[in-house]
Amino acid sequence: MITTFYVTNIILLITIFFIITFMYGKAQRLNFQHFQLRRRFFISVFIMFAIYVLSTFNICSRNGTEQFATEPISFLYITFIIFTLFSAAYFGRNYHKKLFVWLFLLQYPVVLLLVHVFVLITGNYIKIYTLSSIFEDHRLIFAVFIARLVWIGIMISGYILMTGIIIDSYFYFRKNLTQLTTEKVLSMRRAEIIDIAIYLILFVWMMANNFLSSLLPRILTNIFMTIMIVRTYIIYRNFIRYSLELSKMNNVIHGRLEKLMGQHINNPFYTSNPTLEVVSEALGVDKNELRDYIYSELGTTLSAWTSEKRILYISQQLIKTDRMVSELALSCGYSNPPALNRAFKQRFGVTPSEFRAKNKV
């Protein structure tokens, strides 16, 4: 059993090293600000998690498996802090930007680590292999109940608090979720949320493992965590590939769009309320690629985008030509001049006639 535990630990460490290398290397190619934030948090979480896994190699001996081991508990707690603030940031909560949040959460594992190092150096550290040994060795009464169990109890309370932060941040995310996105982005977002939920369960279960004498739960956790890291790698590899392809396509669409904007005949932007199919056909691109472009590059909807193009076109026509407002309204897809007046005033704060009077040379 001990050999199996060591083997799964080593495999998990190799997997962690692999995804850190991936996040540090290929993932840098994406310049998306939100993705880079996730990338940096991922690297931090997995580096700290690797330190925790390394610390668990010391819990096994001929006497059994150590329980209430302060070193692994502290490292796992720090890992969970980073994971919690990363998850909150993903869901739109900026707790990671507040220094007092970091200090409040980190004080408990840091103090426990300092005490652990001190007791270890002085030779007073006592390993606990069974709960019955607490009552058999009088030295453990104070060490466990006063110094160790009480502090670990505080950290468990912190675990509960951080779990609540993640859940609260998720509901905040759901409340403020915009519908402006593509199916591929939605698919990845769902996968990421599932990942966060599974990692949360695994981190909670790993903390519980520190109070169990059996190695089997730890072995199973190592296996599940290895699978999860591989899943995370696949998700982000596909996302990076999709994003790079999208970036190339966006450049193509942008170039064709510039040419289309100079075309005043058979231009869907100026003649009607176009559909995605009509605009994509005019640009000569797939409608799904155009939808992705509108979301990733412009951050708006098709109707808002085309409306903005029409309004800007009309504003230029008002300055450069003497065309009547009613003519411009009908030629650009507005049912009547009052409809244009409302849209124009919402965009520029004045009516088309007032705009012409102020800007026409």
Higher pLDDT, 187 or 172: 172
Per-residue model confidence (pLDDT) at position 180: 46
167, 239: one domain: yes
d(CA 307, CA 288) in angstroms, rounded, equals: 20
16, 51: one domain: yes
Q: Does residue 254 belong to any structural domain of this protein? A: no
Q: Does residue 106 belong to any structural domain of this protein? A: yes
Burial of 46 (0-12, 13-18, 19+ CB in 10 A): buried
**Containing domain of residue 135, as a range?**
2-245
Least confidently predicted of 100-104, 117-121, 195-199, 291-295: 291-295
d(CA 49, CA 70) in angstroms, rounded, equals: 15
Higher pLDDT, 218 or 254: 218
Q: Does residue 18 belong to any structural domain of this protein? A: yes
Q: What is the CATH number of the domain that holds 293?
A: 1.10.10.60
204, 115: one domain: yes
Which DSSP category does 122 fall into?
Answer: T
Q: What is the mean pLDDT of residues 326-348?
A: 81
182: left (phi > 0), else alpha (psi -120 to 50), else beta? beta
Q: Does residue 250 belong to any structural domain of this protein? A: no
The token duo for 343 is 């849209």
Amino acid at the residue 172: Y
DSSP string, 300-320: S-HHHHHHHHHHHHHHHHHHH
Domain endpoint, select from 177, 211, 245: 245
H/E segment holding residue 65: strand 64-65
Q: What is the mean pLDDT of residues 196-206?
A: 92
Q: Does residue 98 belong to any structural domain of this protein? A: yes
Report whether 22 contacts 237 (CB < 8 A). Answer: yes
88, 31: one domain: yes
322, 220: one domain: no
Q: Does residue 253 belong to any structural domain of this protein? A: no
Q: How many domains does the chain have?
A: 2
Domain endpoint, select from 214, 245, 276: 245
276, 155: one domain: no
Q: Does residue 251 belong to any structural domain of this protein? A: no
Domain endpoint, select from 212, 245, 278: 245
Q: Does residue 16 belong to any structural domain of this protein? A: yes
241, 301: one domain: no
Reported as a pLDDT band with limits 50, 70 and 90, residue 48 is very high
176, 29: one domain: yes
44, 183: one domain: yes
- Predicted TM-score of the model (pTM): 0.69
34, 141: one domain: yes
Higher pLDDT, 77 or 138: 77
